[in-house]
Structure 1
Amino acid sequence: MRAGRPRSAADPSIALLQALQHEHGDDLLRYALRHTRDRGQAEDVVQETFARAWRHPLAVSGSSGSARAWLFTVARNLIVDEVRSARHRREIAVESVPEQAVGDQADALLDRILLSDALTALSPDHRAVLLEAYWGGRSVHEIAERLGVPEGTVKSRLHYGMRALRLALQERGVTR
């Protein structure tokens, strides 16, 4: 086949490939399935076998034995090559995906300790409002009702509490 020129249905190699697939395709799939024990891999072997037959029609039709023997030899070689490959030795088929590895939690723990220390440096009023808003997820209205203070006071304490927290963190080496 010349590069850039697609083969037509009238091409003899296409007719040969169709005849080979019709005559030997099912047997070749059973052979590959018996040796790989994996349907997807067996189908890949059969597909690659016929692709090689298509690329080398003279080898198939001109082989000293039958075309069937050539196809099964190619399939066997593909299976053996896969078993010998490094990829096959590294891959292990599993029924379910294993648990994901959990990263080191030391940084998160240190961040929590640092933040806890900085929060203790705040006044109790500022700390209470910040905890309710950011860790409790409550709105200004909910915080005001919960703490028994006006909404404006909650807003003011949030503003000044965040400023004080930022300063406390900067004093502990957290810079921005």
Structure 2
Amino acid sequence: MSWTFMGSDGSTRSAADDNRADHRTQVLALHSYVSRLLRGDEARAEDIVQETLLRCWRTYGSIGDSELRPWMFRVARNLVIDNYRSHKSRPPETDGDLWKEVDTSETDDTERVLTAMVVRKGMATLSTAHRQALFEVYYHGRTLEEAAHVLGVPKGTLKSRVHYGLRALQRSLTGPRVPLIRAENT
């Protein structure tokens, strides 16, 4: 096996062709070996083969031709092991969409607390009748019939109080402060 292609001395065309064919055979065998070690990961296999050939080129003079092939396969194997260890020690690489999978709903109750404070202030602006109607229907979860029975008012009156109470609450939460008409018997 001859590796003079790495430091060509201008030999004849046939010798250069022989070197290229020998090089291709060695590289293909090395690439096949590394691909098997990496279970078919072609991109990493090409990187490992390239690094192996670079190390071979750097140490070319200190290794004899008969020891070159086993040495290259050992270097490639060691690079695969180093690559595997470095990937295990690093956190996994992400594609930038990992933040979409993070569930933030249970990590912070600040939004819920602030919403409750705003709604409480808005409820304070309502009349007592509207506030009681909304409280019975939305807080206790009662039907209109049940809430009307608890409050002792007709169903139509309760329905009207819920409607106008929601409108007033919406105005107090979203719009400018407008004096609300406080109707006790509406």
Q: TM-score range by the shorter chain?
A: 0.3 to 0.5
Please tell me whether Structure 1 or Structure 2 has the larger radius of gyration of its CA atoms.
Answer: 2
TM-score, normalised to structure 1, is: 0.48
TM-score, normalised to structure 2, is: 0.46
